[in-house]
């Protein structure tokens, strides 16, 4: 019996050394130390042995059982490690692989320009006032000194809704009326940014929708010189301190006098190029002193109050700064364009 026990131990340990899968390991385990295993069988049959042999067999059987248990556990752990190493190697999970980049969105180039513009005007004390995009004909035109049938309306044809007298605003200027009516007779210093709409033939330089930033200052003793100084300060902050600025006479029904603001072409430094049509200058805004009729429509007495207003195109400014040659890219939703910013 003792001999057999030593044999089982030696044989099992030898087999264990070459066992490579856990199924075979478990089979060998139950054949030896399992419930129906040989060693378990020997332990159970000790009672049938002659009394003088019992202690020695019992002791050895228990020792062998404990040693084999330890050997099985050790081999099992070894196989587990092997399996893990194999699965890592075969690439089930390669923890060293760099992660897949999560696509992140970014700000639209127009949003970025708008934020820069807001920051400059904020420094000069202008607050943002949001005005509606769906507007009344009355506010978009009539209250801005363009009564029905006024020829200036032709410059700003737009999209009309099925409701009589309601349209998509053609410029941010109707916001002037809303802000004045809300704050009169307080002094005002605001910018009014947002989308405007025009019924136009779409080309590289004109779109049916684009952003403007309107500005309005109303108060006591506001003069043309304030407007010029303010526009020059803005242009230098946006385009660089040594940019030259010039003012040209112009006409808008809602300002008097009116002007266009030009900056020295930022692409050719005033030398003359395709973008500035060889003039050396780029138009950045329309502006002027608020017309007395408009002041009155806003609730201010033009004999006491005066003010200036301006309006600039945001896509225009962005095109110049990034050398973008077609305005249609902005709202065409082409990622190849948008991802460049």
Can you give the binding site for ligand PHE, defined by CB under 6 A?
171, 173, 214, 252, 255, 286-288, 309-311
Residue number, 33 or 217, with CB nearest to ligand PHE: 217
**Min CB(276)–ligand PHE separation in Å:** 19
Residue number, 64 or 259, with CB nearest to ligand PHE: 259
**Min CB(176)–ligand PHE separation in Å:** 8
**Min CB(340)–ligand PHE separation in Å:** 28
**Min CB(310)–ligand PHE separation in Å:** 5
**Min CB(309)–ligand PHE separation in Å:** 4
Which residue in the shown chain puts its C-beta closest to ligand PHE?
Answer: 311
Three-state SS string over the chain comes to CHHHHHHHHHHHHHHHHHCCCHHHHHHHHHHHCCCCCHHHHHHHHHHHCCCCCHHHHHHHHHHHHHHHHHHHHHHHHHHHHHHHHHHHHCCCCCCCCCCCCCCCCCCCHHHHHHHHHHHHHHHCCCEECCCCCEEEHHHHCHHHCCCCCCHHHHHHCCCECCCCCEEECCCCCHHHHHHHHHHCCCCEEEEEEEEEECCCCCCCCCCCEEEEEEEEEEECCCCHHHHHHHHHHHHHHHHCCCCCEEEEEEEECCEEEEEEEEEECCCCCCCCCCCCCCCCEEEEEEEEEECHHHHHHHCCCCCCCEEEEEEEEHHHHHHHHHCCCCHHHCCCCCHHHHCCC
Residue number, 286 or 298, with CB nearest to ligand PHE: 286
Residue number, 58 or 219, with CB nearest to ligand PHE: 219
Residue number, 214 or 315, with CB nearest to ligand PHE: 214
């Amino acid at each position: 019996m003792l001999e057999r026990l030593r044999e089982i131990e030696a044989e099992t340990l030898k087999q264990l050394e070459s066992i490579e899968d856990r199924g075979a390991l478990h089979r060998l385990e139950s054949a030896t130390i399992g419930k129906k295993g040989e060693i378990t069988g020997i332990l159970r049959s000790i009672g049938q042995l002659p009394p003088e042999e019992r202690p020695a067999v019992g002791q050895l059987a228990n020792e062998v059982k404990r040693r084999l248990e330890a050997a099985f556990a050790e081999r099992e752990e070894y196989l587990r490690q092997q399996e893990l190493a194999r699965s890592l190697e075969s690439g089930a999970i390669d923890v060293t692989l760099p992660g897949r980049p999560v696509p992140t969105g970014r700000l639209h180039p127009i949003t970025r320009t708008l934020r820069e513009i807001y920051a400059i005007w904020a420094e000069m004390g202008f607050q943002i006032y949001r005005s509606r995009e769906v507007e009344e004909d009355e506010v978009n035109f009539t209250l801005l000194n363009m009564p029905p049938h006024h020829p200036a309306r032709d410059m700003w044809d737009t999209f009309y809704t099925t409701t009589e007298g309601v349209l998509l605003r053609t410029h941010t200027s109707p916001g002037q009326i809303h802000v004045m009516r809300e704050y009169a007779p307080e002094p005002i210093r605001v910018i009014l940014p947002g989308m405007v709409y025009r019924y136009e033939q779409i080309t590289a330089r004109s779109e049916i929708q684009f952003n403007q930033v309107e500005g309005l200052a109303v108060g006591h003793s506001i003069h043309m010189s304030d407007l010029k100084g303010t526009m020059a300060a803005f242009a230098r902050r946006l385009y660089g301190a040594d940019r030259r600025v010039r003012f040209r006479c112009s006409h808008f029904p809602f300002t008097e006098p009116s002007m266009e603001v030009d900056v020295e072409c930022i692409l050719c430094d005033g030398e003359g190029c395709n973008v500035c049509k060889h003039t050396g200058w780029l138009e950045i805004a329309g502006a002027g002193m608020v017309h007395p009729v408009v002041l009155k429509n806003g609730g201010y007495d033009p004999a006491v109050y005066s003010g200036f207003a301006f309006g600039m195109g945001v896509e225009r400014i962005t095109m110049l700064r990034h050398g973008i040659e077609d305005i249609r890219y902005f709202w065409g939703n082409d990622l190849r364009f948008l991802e460049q910013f």
